[in-house]
Amino acid sequence: MKHAIIETGGKQYRVAEGDVVFIEKLPVQAGDTVKFDKVLAVITEEGSVFGAPVIAGAVVNANVVKNGKAKKVRVYKMKPKKGYQRTQGHRQPYTKVQIESIVG
């Protein structure tokens, strides 16, 4: 099986063909095709290739499944004996992609 390590949104992901991955939000619509060209490593059964820092010419192709928001996270702040309390919610946006092919 062929795996790749890609970088997008400041994070690194290990992906294989057919995987569904939740990544940081991209400015694309559902049904579009995305190419990740920051491929840090490609791992196959024959061996591994590592970039310094990226592999030239390596591309990971993916289809966008949907854009959405994660579950709400509650942020609570309090200072004891001062009467200070704040509650804030946050929903992190994401893009759900399905990996189609790893070239390189």
- Please name the residue ranges forming H helices in 22-99: none
Contact 53, 9 (CB under 8 A): no
Closest residue by Cα to residue 26 from 100, 96, 95: 95
Residue 104 has pLDDT above 90, yes or no: no
Closest residue by Cα to residue 92 from 18, 17, 32, 22: 22
56-94 residue pLDDT tens: 999 999 999 999 999 999 999 999 999 999 999 999 999
Categorize the per-residue pLDDT at 1 as very low, low, confident or very high, splitting at 50, 70 and 90.
Answer: confident
Handedness of CA 21, 45, 43, 62 (dihedral sign): negative
